[in-house]
């Protein structure tokens, strides 16, 4: 049973528009959530995180929203740029398991010029 799910394998948006990537989780013990970006032939790169005591965290063009009651989080990228084209992974962990993240299967984002 997959504890972290990214139900959209791919997403295509126009440059300058908003990209919204979604993630659902089932384990109530998860209280720290991360988004990673991965380019081909590279390891995942940390993008942004949020703890369960918050419902929003912003870093430049990237904002993560957390809805604990729905066990749902989303990553917003505004405005989207062609360089944002990559695979985005949602990951979750519990405080007692530092660095032992459970990942979703990823969403491939394509930003068209």
Partner 1 sequence: ETGVTQSPTHLIKTRGQQVTLRCSSQSGHNTVSWYQQALGQGPQFIFQYYREEENGRGNFPPRFSGLQFPNYSSELNVNALELDDSALYLCASSKNENYEQYFGPGTRLTVT
Cα 52 to the center of its chain, rounded Å: 15
**Residue 55 near partner 1 by CB under 8 A:** no
Cα dist from 33 to 28, 62, 111, whole Å: 12, 14, 24
CA angle 5–58–87, rounded 5-degree value: 40
**Closer residue to partner 1 (CB): 53 or 113:** 53
Among 15, 55, 59, 105, indicate the residue that binds partner 1 (CB under 8 A): 105
Residues numbered 69 to 98 that lie near partner 1 (CB under 8 A) are: 89, 91, 93, 97-98
**Closer residue to partner 1 (CB): 9 or 16:** 9
């Amino acid at each position: 049973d997959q504890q972290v799910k990214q139900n959209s394998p791919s997403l295509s948006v126009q440059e300058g528009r908003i990209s919204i990537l979604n993630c659902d989780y089932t384990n109530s013990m998860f209280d720290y959530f991360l988004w990673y970006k991965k380019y081909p032939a590279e390891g995942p790169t940390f993008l942004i995180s949020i703890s369960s005591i918050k419902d929003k965290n912003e870093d430049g063009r990237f904002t993560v929203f957390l809805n604990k009651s729905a066990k749902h989080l989303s990553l917003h990228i505004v405005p989207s740029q062609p360089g944002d084209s990559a695979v985005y992974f949602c990951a979750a962990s519990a405080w007692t398991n530092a660095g032992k993240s459970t990942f979703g299967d990823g969403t491939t984002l394509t930003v068209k010029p």
